[in-house]
Amino acid sequence: MAFALSNMQLESSAFQSHGAIPTRHTGEGDDTSPALSWRSAPEGTKGYAIICHDPDAPLVQYGSYGFVHWLLYNLPGSTTTLAEGTSDGTRGKNDFGKLGYGGPMPPEGHGVHHYYFWVLALDKPTDLPEGLGLEELLKQLEPHLLGMNRLIGTYQRG
């Protein structure tokens, strides 16, 4: 993924930065996406995308490590919040092979995993088809990336 760290601030009412993600947002709970909000987008932002990725997952695919839990795109530039369990935007395919959000579910006994929720600010609105995987999504978004930032949450199976 191209790296264009910006001053955007991404937050969730469900968990603090580097804090534990509540069970209801995991595969052991309701598997519901957490509420997110962001501010201070780069000037000229006209669209957004969200990616949730677990770099601690013991999986190597497409030449990179980790597990994709959520791809959400085609969010208009006027969007600055996503409600819990949002139906906004267009759902991509996660590494569970499903569309939309798939919550944390690290292997038992694998310790604490870190979940990176990224918000990507884009210089144009997008109208991409549903079901894109990470590799194809990034190929489409990278030329339009103005800035990005992340919120990291943690989870360990009980």
pLDDT digits (tens, 9 = 90+) for 46-77: 999 999 999 998 766 655 678 999 999 999 99
Q: State pTM to two decimals.
A: 0.94
Which of 48-62, 92-106, 124-138 has the least mean pLDDT? 48-62
- 5/1: higher pLDDT: 5
The CATH label, of 3.30.70.120, 3.90.280.10, 3.20.20.60, 2.40.30.10, for the domain at 9-144 is 3.90.280.10
pLDDT for 3 equals 63
Report how far residue 139's alpha carbon sits from residue 104's, in angstroms, rounded to the nearest whole number: 25
pLDDT for 60 equals 60
- Is the separation of the CB atoms in 70 and 101 below 8 Å? yes
Q: Where are the domains of the chain?
A: 9-144
What value does the mean pLDDT take over residues 97-125?
A: 95
